[in-house]
């Protein structure tokens, strides 16, 4: 958990009358530009690193592909200081019938 964030925070009021938090105020981080994988590799290489941007980028690309593979196999991945990445599923609120399930008519 970040104890001393170096980003701006806006305070917003919940104006959704159907939400339990209606009328209350909540913090929201101000997002800047999205950093690409190449941008991250460049940034890392500029931190007194012995590895060049292209080497770091290659390692990050391999890490991402391996994470996708392992998560698809049902394995959560913990990266200390960053978080845990785990497999998830989504469904519609309508769901499907047992017959449709048995016929394999679900999107996974």
- Tens of pLDDT, residue by residue over 81-99, are 999 999 998 777 788 888 8
- Tens of pLDDT, residue by residue over 23-55, are 999 999 899 999 999 999 999 999 999 999 999
| Spatial CB neighbours of 27, under 8 Å, sequence gap ≥ 6 | 9, 10, 11, 12
Whole-Å CA distances, 35 to 22, 63, 96: 33, 17, 39
* Predicted pLDDT at 67: 98
CA 24 from centre of chain: 26
* Predicted pLDDT at 49: 93
CA 91 from centre of chain: 19
Domains of the chain and CATH, by start: 9-102 (4.10.520)
């Amino acid at each position: 958990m970040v104890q001393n964030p170096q980003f701006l925070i806006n305070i917003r009021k919940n104006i959704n009358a159907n939400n339990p938090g209606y009328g209350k105020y909540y913090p929201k981080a101000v997002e800047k530009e999205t950093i690409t994988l190449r941008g991250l590799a460049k940034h890392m290489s500029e931190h007194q690193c012995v590895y060049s941007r292209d080497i770091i980028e290659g390692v990050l690309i391999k890490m991402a592909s391996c994470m996708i593979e392992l998560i698809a196999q049902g394995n959560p991945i913990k990266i200390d200081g960053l978080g845990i990445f785990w497999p998830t599923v989504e469904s519609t609120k309508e769901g499907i019938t047992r017959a449709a399930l048995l016929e394999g008519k679900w999107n996974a």
